[in-house]
Structure 1
């Protein structure tokens, strides 16, 4: 790229005068007229000669070979390598080895942790008389057939109705930073259950209809107790399976008797 001084020199060598336009700014004070002393200029050579001289200088500079890089003598390289193998280094070499390579450290980008995805799940939740929490995993609320099946089961067990499901989704908002997906999901579910106390719920037991692996990881089911919430619980077949499988219904009858007894005992404890 030709610089401005060099361009002006080329124009002057070709006999062309470069004029710089000057404008008076609005509301500016006029410049006072004065006489400038012109510097003495040597007699210039003809424009053609000066142009050829500039071209010759540029061509000579382009042809000038670049100096080769300094090569360390073979003997010096051999001695230096031998010193390194023996563990002996000159003071200047040792300082250069111990000196951290800041440019290399700045060039290497820091390790970035891959963005983690949140744990995603949807639950349909209801509560029996503010005491027993009923959870049905899935995005869709129980249909009429499944709702009638639940009502029949709870009536047979002597539990109070009606049922009104609401949806709990995790995560509550998208595009949120995630560091520990499982721990954050557990905290969210626990906060939801603790928040039900504001509605007057006093949870005593949890019933889960559906073998959902994600929910099992969240609740940490161990020996009939949901460790996360610290409440006794039961997790059995899904409502769709119970509605179509007569054997699953028969296997559930002993459990219904246990629910009836637990409901009565907990009611008596609350009355006392």
Structure 2
């Protein structure tokens, strides 16, 4: 609520001379009685000879008499006068004026808050090829992991060293970075972070091609959907990349290995010539 002085200032600025609220306002000054009195001013009607009436019938006050118009316009004139009298006698209630700083109750549906993406990627190097691999368990590969054994088989088939070396300190790229706090950890922030880590490695040593293995690698490094597998693309700022499904998907779907082999054979001259 606002003070009475401030409310009147708003009304004067809006050129509202008379304002009657629908209900009693808290902390408002009482209404002045003179504002509730409406004077009805009307031009005196022309003298009309009225028919004689019985003495018992009370005379109608002059204010309520309707003027007699010339023939042909009597109906329209009478209706216009009656409408004017009703507007003066019964003013339409005004809607309460809401000041600019008064809160207005509105039902606003809040946009759904999307949780930050969660993934773990391992960045490794095999010869002149950089590998960005989704970690199925979220932890670094162990020598006996079936997914790691499959990765070694893929490297041998591509005529690359089958013992990839971990990059940097060997820690996986995990997201989200923080479990608490106000830091933006949405999709765009995750993409910028992953691409920044890969770009830093490329700036130091470079490579002939990047293998993007798994849906998070495709989405946050290659900026493509998980279905965009078995093809080569050019990632802005990172260079050529070969997209592959995750290692677990390759183990569960043996038929996908044939598609992957065809894609690898098409891209093999790129890293074979660069070695």
TM-score, length basis structure 2: 0.51
1:148 aligns with 2:149: yes
Higher helix share: 1
For residue 252 of structure 1, the aligned residue among 228, 241, 260 is: 260
Q: Structure 1 residues 79 and 167 mapped into 2: Cα distance closer, same or farther (>3 Å)?
A: farther
Q: Which has the larger radius of gyration?
A: 1
Contact 1:206 1:234 survives alignment (8 Å): yes
For residue 261 of structure 1, the aligned residue among 259, 269, 274 is: 269
Question: Would you say how many aligned residue pairs link Structure 1 and Structure 2?
Answer: 183
Query: How far is the alpha carbon of 1:132 from its aligned partner?
Result: 2.3
For residue 239 of structure 2, the aligned residue among 231, 253, 266 is: 231
Per-residue Cα deviation, 1:95-128 (whole angstroms, up to 9, x for no partner): xx7xx836516x989x998876433332122121
Instruction: Determine the C-alpha separation between the residues in 1 that align with 2:100 and 2:265.
Output: 74
Q: Structure 1 residues 155 and 83 mapped into 2: Cα distance closer, same or farther (>3 Å)?
A: same
User: Within 5 A, what are the aligned runs for 1:1-272?
Assistant: 69-70=30-31, 72-73=35-36, 75=38, 101=99, 104=102, 117-129=115-127, 131-138=129-136, 139-142=138-141, 144=144, 145-165=146-166, 166-178=171-183, 181-197=186-202, 200-210=204-214, 212=215, 214-218=216-220, 219-221=222-224, 224-267=232-275
Instruction: Determine the C-alpha separation between the residues in 2 that align with 1:215 and 1:80.
Output: 77
Instruction: Determine the C-alpha separation between the residues in 1 that align with 2:239 and 2:149.
Output: 27
What are structure 2's unaligned runs of at least 5 residues? 1-28, 40-86
Instruction: Determine the C-alpha separation between the residues in 1 that align with 2:133 and 2:217.
Output: 10
TM-score, length basis structure 1: 0.51
Contact 1:186 1:228 survives alignment (8 Å): no
Instruction: Determine the C-alpha separation between the residues in 2 that align with 1:231 and 1:253.
Output: 21
Instruction: Determine the C-alpha separation between the residues in 2 that align with 1:230 and 1:127.
Output: 15
Query: How far is the alpha carbon of 1:215 from its aligned partner?
Result: 4.3
